[in-house]
Amino acid sequence: MKKLLFVTLLLISICAYAQDPKDEINKQVWKVFTEAYNNFDTEKFMSVYSKDIMRVAQDDKKIFNFTEYKRNVNRENQFNKNYGIKAKIELRFTERIYAGDQAFEKGVFRIDLTDNNGKPATIFSKFEVVLKKEAGVWKIKFDTDSSEGATVSQKDFDKGKPM
């Protein structure tokens, strides 16, 4: 009886201290992603992506591999830096599913932009990602987003849950 109680308590302890995949993903992917996006830091931004990434820009009808996506991100970041653009991205999640070292997440992001004249703009888009652990670290393997013809709005954003 004592052995059974000990094993039960041990399993409960292990489960209680095991890190939730959501928390791990938030720390390893989404916090790095948002910080890098807001600072136009291409290297840091791309660090959350698998080298096998399939990036689908639905609005542009384009598919990028890692090298093409990095080139595109770098070009946009340089433009934003050169023209004094400021950006703040925020994510809200509508679905987060985990199974071992794999995850599927979807939601809505909001980007608040300010141009070099102080003129603000806000962009909304729905996103979906597939993540996989590579060498113990979560990476984005598939990433797509769409503004759905500029119909995604604050209302959609508000339906999601923050990190």
Query: Is residue 3's pLDDT more than 90?
Result: no
Task: Confirm whether 13 is domain-assigned.
Answer: no
Q: Residue 105: exposed, middle, or buried by beta-carbon count in 10 A (0-12, 13-18, 19+)? A: buried
Q: Any idea what DSSP says for residue 150?
A: T
Q: What is the pLDDT of residues 90-141, one digit of tens each?
A: 999 999 999 999 999 999 999 999 999 999 999 999 999 999 999 999 999 9
Domain count, the chain: 1
Q: Are 130 and 115 in contact (CB under 8 A)?
A: no
- Please state which of the ranges 13-22, 27-36, 44-53 shows the lowest mean pLDDT: 13-22
Is the pLDDT at 7 greater than 50? The verdict is: no
Q: Determine, yes or no, domain membership for 2.
A: no
The whole-number average pLDDT for the span 34-48 is 98
The answer to whether residue 8 sits within a structural domain is no
pTM score of the predicted model? 0.85
Interstrand relation of 137-146 and 49-57 (parallel, antiparallel or unpaired):
parallel
Q: What's 101's domain CATH number? A: 3.10.450.50
Q: Where in the sequence is the domain holding 66, given as residue range(s)?
A: 20-159
* Res 68: pLDDT: 98
Answer yes or no: is 120 within a domain: yes
* In-domain check, residue 86: yes
